[in-house]
Amino acid sequence: MLTKIAFALTAVSALVLAGSAFAAKPSGSSSITGPYLVTTSSTGSPVTAASTTTPKFGDTVTFNISTSLTGNPFVNLICYGNGIGYDSWAAFWPTTGSFVLGSGGWTSGAADCTAKLVMYVNSTRVKVLASTSFHVGA
């Protein structure tokens, strides 16, 4: 009798663990590329340009994102270095967001940055779907 109970408990545990493993795997794909400089046209409209140059402090940048995992993607941009800390968020729905590379705590100088494409799992937790890193010149 104890053998049957032990076998039943083992089988139930295996099914529970297998179910969690399958539930944790997202189906779909996501990517983030950039940064791309955002400039202003002669008419005052924003223009996004593919850039092969390193963005500099004070530039405005955006990212090209793609995901099939959420209709409400966000980008979290974190930059650090030379005594600065920059952590900014932008919604990339229904339109593309952008970031100014500078803030009250980042008044000059170079930094290393990571942009993370994320989705909210619940009201307090996000899941990183893709990321890209780059350097910002002084």
Is there a domain that residue 126 lies in? yes
Is there a domain that residue 4 lies in? no
To which residue do tokens 């104890």 refer? 2
* Model pLDDT for residues 63-120, shown as the tens digit of each residue: 999 999 999 999 999 999 888 889 999 999 988 899 999 998 899 999 999 999 999 9
Q: How many residues does the chain have?
A: 138
> Which CATH number is 52's domain given?
2.60.40
Is there a domain that residue 1 lies in? no
Is there a domain that residue 87 lies in? yes
Is there a domain that residue 77 lies in? yes
Q: How many domains does the chain have?
A: 1
Is there a domain that residue 11 lies in? no
Is there a domain that residue 89 lies in? yes
Is there a domain that residue 103 lies in? yes
Residue 2: predicted pLDDT: 41
Range of the domain at 93: 27-136
C-beta separation of 101 from 79 below 8 A: yes
Q: Which residues contact 102 (CB under 8 A, 6 or more apart)?
A: 57, 58, 86, 108
